[in-house]
Structure 1
Amino acid sequence: MNQLKVIGKERIGHIEFTGIEGGFGKDKKAMLVKDIAKIHDKELRQINQAINMNRKRFKDGIDIVDLLNQSDGFRKFAQENRLIGSNRTQHVYLLSERGYAKLLKILDDNKAWDIYDQLVDNYFNMRVAIKNNEPSLVQQRRLQIMEDNAATRKASIMYKIAMTTESNSSRQSLLAQAAKELTGEMTIPVMKHKEYSATEIGKLLGITSNKVGRIANELGLKADQPGQNEYGRWSNSKSKYSDKEVPQWLYFEKGFQAIKEYLR
């Protein structure tokens, strides 16, 4: 087991949290998901659910450690530091810097990325690089983030142009280019699934379609436009108010079940 140790209280802005080293390698810093939830002003169950919905994206021992489902040493650490809320607690997640970056892609809001910059500079491994006078490591990470964001913006522009063109072939070409920016692949695969609109899910669960959309955003169910994932896909539908087609997120069965589970 990579030895875990509490290194004291850390602070980001006005938020105080527990600094932890280990779990992902010697002297590697980590963060408890309960502290991440507090920093992002979200409930712990919301962050846990977002992780669970995307669990296969987090690699055990590299991105994430579940203190309750690993070695006895990790469980003992959780018990000694009073991290187990109750007998009903199923997971006590610990994230590495890489795992935290993956979580931010799921949360996907400007505040999340602003906080990430603060944590990289003042808590995770980048702080060591700064102290060791190795600013190139910091610059490399920031350049990578900037490149990823630039690709997303470029794909978004292509998508918007595609939605306004009257030529179907031009539209498909632009959508394929947008997909390549996001995934590296020119094709946009369409999987065969039972599909639900937000309105249909709302009727089945007794809530509004707007609430369905808000829950989906909170759980990070939607892929970047114009793509798809295991929870659903983007489609074009005719607007009620004009002749233009507008993007609509269609939910697969797994997406429907995620919304349903959230409401329990």
Structure 2
Amino acid sequence: MNQLEKTLTSLEVAEMVDREHKEVLRDIRNILSQIGESKIALSYFIESTYQNSQNKHLPCYNLTKKGCELYSTRMTGEKGTQFAVAYIERFNKMENHIKQNEINTSNLSPELQMFNGLFQSLAKQELATKQLETKVDGIRDVVALNTTDWRKDARQLISKIAQSRGGFEAYKEVNNEIYKEVERRGGYQLSVRLTNKRRRLADEGVSKSKRDKLSKVDVIADDKRITEIYVAVVKEFAIKNGVTIKEAN
């Protein structure tokens, strides 16, 4: 069994732990500096690259199951538990899928091979039906996204849209497209509002470091109408790209 068939990329790990990819890369490199980049290290982390939306090849790592176990030790409490459950489930699914594909039917009689073919066809039809049901449920989830607790779900959906476009590097691109659509529909200038908000907070004595951390999402949160438009746009982008909240979680 190919080792790479049983790995998760550092991009997937970043999404699962809700961190930036560069932070996950930094963590992995720190671990490697401690254990040394030897043959033992290769059984945990495999250096690789991925292609972003600009067709650039950027560094990443493929994590084996042992690599995920080692990485999970850097997280504690609920966050660590959630990541452990997520990667265990992913690896179990991958292993089951590989085992199913490894079944050799060449030694079966023609009659059994025919029945096996019929069975596989029915199984595929059932799987397609389940996937359609899941997609419909997912769209319902996206539509249910409201303006009460919208930041986390919106961020996760945008991250998933970016992944569908080629990876983490597309996150900024997706964000900008959403902001432009919000500005078009509402006639707003989010960058101007952000500048004004920072100036107002400066007059109130808020530190520069806190002001610099503000984003257009903070401006959106200040106005209920803009928030409603933003949530609607994120929903539309998610449905258009076939992304659901369940997939993003």
TM-score, normalisation: structure 2: 0.32
Query: Which structure has the larger Rg?
Result: 2
TM-score, normalisation: structure 1: 0.30
Asked which structure has the greater RCO (Cα within 8 Å, sep 6+), the reply is 2
Q: More helix by proportion, 1 or 2?
A: 2
